[in-house]
Amino acid sequence: MEEKIEAKEEKLKARLESIKEMEQEVVQREKALKEKEKAKKQLLLRLSPSIWNELAAWAEDDFRSINGQIEYLLAECVRKRKGK
C-alpha cells in the first residue's frame, strides 16, 4: 500500500515539475512577444475622410485591419523602391 502511495507521489511530483517547466516557457514566450511589440515604432497619421474610407474598404477586402493595410502598403512601396 505504501508503495502505491509513493508511486503516486512520484507521478504527482513529475507532473508538477512538468507544469512548472511549461509555465516558465509561457512566461518566456510572453516576454518575447512584448519585446517584439515594443520593436515597432508608432506614428500619428492624419488622413482625409475619403482616403480613410478607401483604405478601410481595401483593408476589409484584404481581410486586414486598417493599420495592417497601411503597414502592408508602406512595406510594398519600400520593397519596390529597393528593387530599382
Q: Where are the domains of the chain?
A: 1-40, 43-84
Ramachandran region, residue 77 (left: φ > 0; alpha: ψ -120 to 50; beta: rest): alpha
pLDDT for the residue 1: 80
pLDDT for the residue 57: 96
Distance CA 2, CA 58 (A): 69
Interval 37-65: pLDDT, tens: 778 888 899 999 999 999 999 999 999 99
In angstroms, what CA-CA distances link 54 with 31, 43, 65, 69?
36, 20, 13, 11
pLDDT for the residue 35: 85
Among 29, 63, 66, 75, smallest CA distance to 47 is for 66
CATH domain 43-84 topology: Arc Repressor Mutant (1.10.1220)
Distance CA 44, CA 40 (A): 13
